[in-house]
Amino acid sequence: MRLIFLGPPGSGKGTQSEFICKDFHIVQLSTGDLLRYHRKNGTELGKKAQEFMDKGELVPDDLIIEIIRNELKKKEYSNGFLLDGFPRTITQAEALDKLLAELNLHLDAVLVLNVPTEELITRLTARRTCPICGKTYHLIYNPPKVDGKCDLDGGELYQRSDDNEETVRNRLEVYEKQTKPLIDYYQSKGLAYFIDGIGKIEDIYSRLKAILDSIKKN
């Protein structure tokens, strides 16, 4: 299966992605991780990307597409992939369509995880992080055993600057503006599937899996 997963910050996309990849034997393809890999290993593509980043510029779409092209030719992606972090714009979506056509591949679905804004704010502003080991907690859903202390090393938990309510609201607004045209684009192609992202993790995954099982049968 070849999938794109869309969902706002705090929607639980990362957790659900792990379940999907495990059950459907596909590989998560994160453009952010790929960029970091190429930069760290000093590949030609990584050096090109670094040039733009050193100037404070975004890595161009054609370079990201080239990185994705290189990945999709690897044997590990032969059973499919779940694309995370790309595309973010209509231009990128069109470039991806063109690339997949060149490789004689097609998308099976674009999964859209829906969570109301106020729920997302509750989730994101209650997140706490350990400065020592980096482990994250949630004051409501996954609190530490001792208030304000990391279970692993006793570190004083803190709230990241980008987890305050004002910043979170801004991030969600940016996501909404960027992503809505993308959702409309894939909906017009009959590829968008909407999933209710409220409830227990297991229940949300059951909804996702039911959709994917149905697509796989067809």
- The catalytic residues are 13, 88, 127, 160, 171
With H, G, I as helix, E, B as strand and everything else as coil, classify residue 113: strand
Q: Do residues 44 and 37 make contact, with C-beta atoms less than 8 angstroms apart? A: no
In which residue are the tokens 């909804």 written? 207
Task: Determine the distance from the C-alpha atom of residue 126 to the mean position of all C-alpha atoms in its chain, rounded to a whole number.
Answer: 20
d(CA 130, CA 136): 6
Q: Output DSSP code: residue 133.
A: T
Q: Residue 164: which H helix or E strand, with range?
A: none
Order the strands of the 192-196 sheet from edge to edge. 27-30, 81-84, 2-6, 109-114, 192-196
d(CA 117, CA 121): 6
Task: Determine the distance from the C-alpha atom of residue 21 to the mean position of all C-alpha atoms in its chain, rounded to a whole number.
Answer: 13
